[in-house]
């Protein structure tokens, strides 16, 4: 069960092992596969700095990803709610440089200074 969340591009923030990065992404989708909810998007760097950050994403451990787009957050949460199955697992799939990076994540919503953030904390091992 797929749902397109946003077709335009939006920034995604990544906290990596040794640095942080903000990279534009596009084609945000949600998928419910049994008891797993998946958030998926394609990276679309807009300059040399973002391209270098994208390379790091393939080399370093990712701690978390976060985004603030209300349409994406609301769409993901609504899609999860309508699932006939209880969601017990979450995954983040990032299409980048013709590869699919997949992370088991724990989602968390936080509100800071009236801005809502969706954090996708990567599970260890």
Show me where the domains of the chain are located.
2-110
Both structure tokens of 69: 């787009």
* pTM for this predicted structure: 0.93
- Relative to beta strand 62-67, strand 10-16 is antiparallel
* The pLDDT of residue 98 is above 70: yes
How does pLDDT run across 106-119, given as a tens digit for each residue? 999 999 999 999 99
Element (H, E) at 56: helix 48-59
How far, in Å, are 57, 59, 77, 115 from residue 20 at the CA level?
10, 13, 26, 20
Across 50-70, average pLDDT: 96
Are 31 and 1 within 8 A, CB to CB? Answer: yes
């Amino acid at each position: 069960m797929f749902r397109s969340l946003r077709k335009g591009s939006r920034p995604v923030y990544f906290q990596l092992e040794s640095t942080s990065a903000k990279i534009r992404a596009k084609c945000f989708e949600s998928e419910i596969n049994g008891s797993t909810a998946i958030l998926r998007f394609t990276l679309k760097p807009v300059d040399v700095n973002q391209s270098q950050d994208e390379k790091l994403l393939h080399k370093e451990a990712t701690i978390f990803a976060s985004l603030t787009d209300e349409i994406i957050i609301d769409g993901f949460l609504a899609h999860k709610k309508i699932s006939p199955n209880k969601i017990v697992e979450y995954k983040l799939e990032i299409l980048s440089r013709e590869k699919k990076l997949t992370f088991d994540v724990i989602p968390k919503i936080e509100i800071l200074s009236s801005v809502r953030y969706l954090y996708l904390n990567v599970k260890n091992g």
